């Protein structure tokens, strides 16, 4: 029993360490490990093959960008990946992407937190999803943002006008301030939802009528707060509560079946949506759909099944566990799972080698990526790699669920 308690305490500590960064300005005076005298030389360990990221590497694991000082999360990730068994060259790209994502989002947070339209909007949180929230963005990545506000008894005056001002400032900050690509899907998700809306139809047939299902799932699976971190924490807390309706009656042996089922439903919905769109597209747009399908088999698959795999490893789980898991990235969830289930380590290394290939292959402009997928042999290569990645992820989830006797709940 004592060994189990120590193990659980260590895993709780790792969850805390792996939680995604709160993007914003870091005061150098508050840095936990300020640089000592003589330690301000730039570390050139990574400069040979990726000079655009060289400035991100300093011995005190922080980087100065204008007025921003950001802790280098990337090097910490590299250390964990090499300890797992990944080669230094593979781990390096993961570290580069994590630092690049964190630094860009810190700049965005600095821009948005200074806007009057956002400062005056009480109870609003803006959170990133997609590659930036996962910590794997490149210079070609767009930023996916969602907006949720907590309901209050005080009605918001001119709510539509205020929403337009918020969106205007967001677009200016992303396109002009950071020179990021425009929002995906013609700004489909540039709207402010309420917490009540994303919970009202949970589990029902109308859940995704207004993208409430998508907003809720991405909040739990791959999100990081840009503004309104206190509101973000409250929203996460409330959403988790909605999945724990039976917790009080089963605290000693509670399994997160409800939330796992919702994640599985989200994954199957993504797959079905792809098939629906493929049947309706003209030939000129089929290449775009093939690229979406390719990404579905990598980033979306990892997002969903890293979470399913980790949740399936718990024979009993608490609310604090769930909240902690939701505040880590998909990759960190896999690393936490490897700590809980060491038998998956070889499969995880194989999966991350395949995912490394995906990250390198998609570091292209839209035009370059479409040109690559226009060739039949290239498409065959891409989907062969995606299939191998899917195979390794299946083995990871299977081992995790089998060892904890939860496989049955994933199948029947």
Helix and strand numbers, DSSP H then E, in the chain: 18, 6
Mean pLDDT calculated for residue range 345-350: 98
**The pLDDT value given to residue 229:** 95
Task: Please tell me which of 31-40, 51-60, 151-160, 329-338 the model is most confident about, judged by mean pLDDT.
Answer: 329-338
How is the chain split among helix, strand and coil, in percent rounded to 5?
65, 5, 30
**The pLDDT value given to residue 69:** 52
Question: CB count, 10 Å around CB of 158?
Answer: 9
**The pLDDT value given to residue 285:** 73
Binned at pLDDT 50, 70 and 90, residue 21 comes out as low
Q: Is 124 helix (H, G, I), strand (E, B) or coil?
A: strand
Q: For 379-390, give the DSSP string.
A: HHHHHHHHHHHH
Question: Does the structure show a pLDDT above 90 at 389?
Answer: yes
Binned at pLDDT 50, 70 and 90, residue 7 comes out as very low
Q: How do the domains of the chain map onto residue ranges?
A: 2-242, 248-411
Q: Is 210 in contact with 195 (CB distance < 8 Å)?
A: no
Mean pLDDT calculated for residue range 392-409: 91
Burial readout 210-239 (b: 16 or more C-beta within 10 A, e: otherwise): ebbbbbbbbbbbbbbbbbbbebbebbbeeb
Q: At how many degrees (to 10) do helices 283-295 and 376-403 cross?
A: 30
- In the chain, what percentage of residues exceed pLDDT 90? 57
Question: Does the structure show a pLDDT above 90 at 152?
Answer: no
Q: Is 336 in contact with 328 (CB distance < 8 Å)?
A: yes
In this prediction the pTM is 0.83
Question: Does the structure show a pLDDT above 90 at 183?
Answer: no
Mean pLDDT calculated for residue range 168-175: 93
Structure confidence by residue, pLDDT tens digits, 283-329: 657 898 899 999 999 999 999 999 999 999 988 888 999 999 999 99
**The pLDDT value given to residue 405:** 85
């Amino acid at each position: 029993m004592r060994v189990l308690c120590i193990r659980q305490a260590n895993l709780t500590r790792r969850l805390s360490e792996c939680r995604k960064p709160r993007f914003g300005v870091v005061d150098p005076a508050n840095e936990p490990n300020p640089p000592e005298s003589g330690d301000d030389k730039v570390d050139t360990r990574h400069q040979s093959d990726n000079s655009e990221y060289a400035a991100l590497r300093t011995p005190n694991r922080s980087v100065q960008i204008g007025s921003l000082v950001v802790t280098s999360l990337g090097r910490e990730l590299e250390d964990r990946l090499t300890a797992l068994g990944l080669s230094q060259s593979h781990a390096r790209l993961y570290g580069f992407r994590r630092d690049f994502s964190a630094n860009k989002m810190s700049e965005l947070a600095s821009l948005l937190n200074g806007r009057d339209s956002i400062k005056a909007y009480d109870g609003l949180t803006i959170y990133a999803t997609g590659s930036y929230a996962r910590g794997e963005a490149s210079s070609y990545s767009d930023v996916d943002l969602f907006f949720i506000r907590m309901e209050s008894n005080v009605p918001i005056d001119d709510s539509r006008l205020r929403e337009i001002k918020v969106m205007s400032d967001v677009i200016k900050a992303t396109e002009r301030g950071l020179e990021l690509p425009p929002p995906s899907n013609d700004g489909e998700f540039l709207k402010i939802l309420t917490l009540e809306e994303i919970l009202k139809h949970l589990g029902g047939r109308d859940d995704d009528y207004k993208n409430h299902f998508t907003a809720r799932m991405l909040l739990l699976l791959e999100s990081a707060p840009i503004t309104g971190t206190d509101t973000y924490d409250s929203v996460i807390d409330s959403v988790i509560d909605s999945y724990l309706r039976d917790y009080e009656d089963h605290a000693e042996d509670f399994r997160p079946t409800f939330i796992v089922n919702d994640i599985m439903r989200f994954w199957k919905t993504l797959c079905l949506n792809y098939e629906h769109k493929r049947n309706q597209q003209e030939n000129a747009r089929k290449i775009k759909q093939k690229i979406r399908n390719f990404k579905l088999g990598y980033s979306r698959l990892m997002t969903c099944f890293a979470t399913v795999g980790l949740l399936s490893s718990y024979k009993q789980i608490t609310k604090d566990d769930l909240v902690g898991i939701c505040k880590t990235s998909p990759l960190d969830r896999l690393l936490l799972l490897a700590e809980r289930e060491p038998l998956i380590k070889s499969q995880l290394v194989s999966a991350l080698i395949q995912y490394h290939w995906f990250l390198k292959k998609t570091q292209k402009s839209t035009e370059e990526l479409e040109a690559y997928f226009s060739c039949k042999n290239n498409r065959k290569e891409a989907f062969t790699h995606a299939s191998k990645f899917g195979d390794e992820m299946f083995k990871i989830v299977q081992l995790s669920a089998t060892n904890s006797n939860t496989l049955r709940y994933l199948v029947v």
